[in-house]
Structure 1
């Protein structure tokens, strides 16, 4: 079996509503407190907690409003991507996010919050049931408890990085609104979940969809990185690198092929599948279904369009180092070979289709420019691609891959003053890009562009140079994986980078005129208004849940 399938369809018998006379009768289709602790009912509850990882929280096909990949929250809000689609009115609420006029009633703000808290709720439901059961195999019980701590840690991590001032509820029903618990205390709760998972989870899993001990340690490392706990992050990264058994694949392009989506580089992934009997193939990459780039083989949804700024970031100088001049790439420029793996560029072959990507593939070319997404789009020839509505794939989304861990190690080392150690780990990433297979022209006789990349072969001459190299490498390696905006925020440079980006982009992308990032506000999404309205008040009549600054 390729992967564990977390089906949504089987959950109907667990969560259907009861009739009007439910006070007199045992609810049909619901589980009583006595039933919920039975082993045959707990395992479906476990599956339900995994199933919502994909962001699909209802019976509609709109998980693109709460995508697990965070393409809208992490890429479009950054300097890496435009919203795309059929103009600014197509999914206008994402357009408003892109130009930083978000408010607390935007659908994506509300739905992402709702889906993530539903994940918390499902994990808590399992944890409570496992605490109260006496009939579950002890070893399996402990492992499922650890898995639910891992999942709950993930859901809270996502909430924390997107909304910052979040509420917390545990499996015992203890509730702390965002005026009762600080963001720092929430970080501590997340650390507790990943530590609890690490202490119990096995080093390997038969089902690749379940987290391992080293996935928990890697996520703990990420939690430390976001808090700038450099000593702890450095030690956690070392443990994963030494003990996890992970490795970089030799070719960057192959990392994102479906046959490798539980490969040696994948630390933890959301498992997708198609043609498995689920309604409307909702177990596929439903949150990314607007990503197909158009052209002769794909529907022309055309969302997540690479920015000119991102394309320019892949330029290299005569020595193969990043140029970072933000001058538009020309056909004669040297470029990092990862560019044509991440971005569909006119005149460059697209996947294994035997055709070049052309600018007329791009939907609304005048608004969003000529480039298309490529990195996480799979070949239309691949059986893991569904060539009919909703055009989803079975290619997993990687929450953490080994390149993340290596770059976190480099970042922590540099922050601790170990610039040479940081350079070593950055170079591991660049060596893979340098030595891997390059995209060829259609007849296979030459490289498709002037690819040139080199490692950093001399020591960094200052901490600032090391930080620049690290941050550049993370952008080039992780582009369009939903991380860029959150990196800018945690580095404290979001306002500077994004406003500089907008200044030039407005010249070519006129729809960005008027966009401005406000420091101290736009680093986080607003708390959904519905949550504030329903959050209750204290004894003095003051809201228990309050809005983020600036909204």
Structure 2
């Protein structure tokens, strides 16, 4: 899965040409007839997998919007600022400040790459339908899982979306209306995959029946079909092959690649030279200059996220009061000026998620503050650095440097990991009126892992880098408390992993929540508070890109409010 994707991309560039281009196959291209065999099916299937990382040969919109790790979605939530200077990637600044235009290239780029994935999956499905001999049930199940995944990504972002089937694809009838959700089609693809995939795969990165079961549970969860969601998720928990990694941080290092916690991941690979299989969509998101002179300083965690890691003396989160105090910020303080790091209680996951001054930065030494931050004090992005997406010192075999100095990580991105399944099951228990005891067990499994992980150490060898205090919950006294605890645990366990925006949206309190976040964040980053627009319910869905509407001849209709 990590080899040869560039060749498949080139193949798709040829296959995407119109029939009017030539009456006979170009040299080096494969005809439709030549693809009607196992080799052809597998080539097209590899091409569908290759789109998971967001890269393709026929890109449109803003090229930085397509990253498969969904970092731009965190910038629309309370987890991250865009980072860098305000004028670099101005379209993304407008997205973060909720000054949304239907022609913004970040929306159009993401829309386009998702449909590229859908079309490539449909190409496999349509091809298999034309082959009379041979058993292609395994490839068909994988293609339908991928189509379900891409449609899920489309659905959760835009809501009212068109459905392009393999029949539409075969007939080149791509201009389909978008009257509403396509959950039935998503469920059908995941259910087919569940029924037809094997329990194990010989090749990393391919889904199994357990993968499909987990994703089907997530699809029901997003529709608030709690009982169905719980059935699928608990099947994975009780019967599946997964477990939590012993050490939390290993999920974001080489040890986490295709580990027991990994349910479905983008398979990245890199080396000392420029690699086309590294995470090129996340290349902006390394410190600038940081500890190793990297580019480009984007994707900076918020003060609000860091504050959420504060704990009580008993080691539980400050569910309702975490923003009444701030983890000490060095915003406005230069590196040559005195700074004293926060001495209060913190969940140990804080310093594996947020890079802050005075604490080791992924093995590169103590974070020295402003001199590692590209954003200025007049910009909107604050003083913190991302950590989960940045490879650790000593793991240089999994990084590549591109032609203009960009860093390409070879560490996999977890689209879904087992901790997510546990927390989704806990949520389904609470919301279905089920067992609060089971919900408590699932949440505490996640918290116990964090408690028993290795803590970040001080660079001077004196012990823990901060006052880490974490304990499991003693009980969930009622459903309201359990709901808060489950939702809060999702944030601190999965922070900066691309999930937060859609959690906020589906929980139904986005307007109040996001406007409270704007107010809180403005206390420490004044310029952000003066520039961001108020959040309204319109922003619960992205605008349908105006270019897509134009290309459809008006068949696509715009989401309300735009």
TM-score higher than 0.5: yes
CA shift, 1:393, in A, is 1.0
Residue among 297, 307, 311 paired with 2:306? 311
Structure 1 vs Structure 2 CA RMSD? 2.2
Query: Where in structure 1 are there 5+ consecutive unaligned residues?
Result: 537-542
Equivalent residue pairs, number = 533
CA contact (8 A) 1:360 1:370 kept: no
The answer on 1:292 being equivalent to 2:296 is: no
Number of the residue aligned with 1:449: 466
Aligned to 1:475: 491
Given the superposition, is the C-alpha separation of residues 456 and 100 from structure 1 closer, same or farther in structure 2, using an over 3 Å criterion?
same
Tell me if 1:8 matches 2:25: no
Correspondence 1:210-249 to 2 at 5 A: 210-249=206-245
SS in 1 for 2:265: strand
Shift of 1:440: 0.7
Offset at residue 358 of structure 1 (A):
2.9
> Which of these residues, 311, 327, 343, is aligned with residue 332 of structure 1?
343
1:404 aligns with 2:420: yes
**What per-residue deviation string (whole Å, max 9, x for no partner) do you get for residues 110-157 of structure 1?**
111111001110100110111111344x1xx11000000010001000
How far did 1:180 drift? 5.6
SS of equivalent residue, structure 1 residue 152: helix
In structure 2, the CA distance between the partners of 1:285 and 1:369, relative to structure 1 (3 Å rule), is same
Deviation per CA, 1:364-407, whole angstroms, max 9, x where unpaired?
24122221101221114311022453310110110000001000
2:81 match: 82
Counterpart position of 2:440:
423
CA distance in 2, matches of 1:282, 1:23: 30
CA separation of 1:34/1:480 partners in 2, compared to 1, >3 Å: closer, same or farther? same
Superposed displacement of residue 436, structure 1: 1.1
User: Which residue does 2:334 correspond to in 1?
Assistant: none
Deviation at 1:19, TM superposition (A): 10
In structure 2, the partner of 1:438 is 455
2:519 and 2:535 mapped to 1: Cα distance? 14
Contact 1:113/1:159, CA 8 A, preserved across alignment: yes
Contact preservation (8 Å) 2:263, 2:418: yes
The 5 Å alignment of 1:446-525 reads 446-458=463-475, 460-509=476-525, 510-525=527-542
Superposed displacement of residue 63, structure 1? 4.4
Supply the distance in 1 between the matched residues of 2:185 and 2:315 (Cα, whole angstroms). 44
| CA distance in structure 1 between the partners assigned to 2:272 and 2:190 by the alignment | 31
2:365 pairs with 1:369: no
After TM superposition, give the deviation of residue 176 of structure 1 in Å.
8.3
Q: Is the 8 A contact 1:362 1:372 kept in 2?
A: yes
Instruction: Name the SS of the counterpart of 2:291 in structure 1.
Output: coil
Question: Which residue number corresponds to residue 336 of structure 2?
Answer: none
Q: Given that residues 519 and 529 in structure 2 are in contact (C-alpha distance below 8 angstroms), is that contact kept between their aligned partners in structure 1?
A: no
Q: Which SS does the other structure have where 1:508 is aligned? A: coil
Judge which range, 387-396 or 13-22, deviates more. 13-22
Unaligned runs of 5+ in 2: 329-341
TM-score for the superposition, normalised by structure 1: 0.92
Which shows bigger deviation, 297-306 or 14-23? 14-23
Q: What is the alpha-carbon distance in structure 2 between the residues aligned to residue 364 and residue 14 of structure 1?
A: 39
Change (3 A) 1:391 1:308: same
The partner residue of 1:143 within 129, 138, 147 is 138
1:539 corresponds in structure 2 to none
How far the C-alpha of 1:315 sits from its partner, in A, is 0.6
> How far does residue 14 in structure 1 lie from its aligned partner after superposition?
5.0
* Counterpart position of 2:65: 65
2:430 and 2:479 in contact (8 A); partners too? yes
- Separation (CA, whole Å) in 1 of partners of 2:256 and 2:21: 49
Secondary structure of the residue aligned to 2:540 is: coil
Instruction: Please state how far the C-alpha of 1:34 moved relative to its aligned partner.
Output: 1.8
State which drifts further: 476-485 or 353-362. 353-362
How far the C-alpha of 1:325 sits from its partner, in A, is 2.8
**Secondary structure at 2:290 match in 1:** coil
In the alignment, the residues of structure 1 paired with residue 56 and residue 419 of structure 2 have an alpha-carbon distance, to the nearest angstrom, of 30
Q: Is 1:344 aligned to 2:355, yes or no?
A: yes
Paired residue secondary structure (1:475): helix
Q: Which moved more, 1:10-19 or 1:265-274?
A: 10-19
Q: CA deviation at 1:160?
A: 0.5
- 8 Å CA contact retained: 1:14, 1:30: no
Q: Quote how far apart the aligned CAs of 1:223 are.
A: 0.5
2:180 counterpart residue number: 182
After the TM superposition, which residues 55-204 of structure 1 pair with which residues of structure 2 at under 5 Å, given as runs?
55-58=54-57, 63-73=63-73, 75-85=74-84, 87-136=85-134, 138=135, 141-173=136-168, 179=177, 181-183=179-181, 186-204=182-200
Greater mean deviation of Cα atoms: 5-14 or 322-331? 5-14
**Greater shift in the superposed pair: 20-29 or 76-85:** 20-29
Taking the aligned partners of 2:178 and 2:351, their CA distance within structure 1 comes to 48
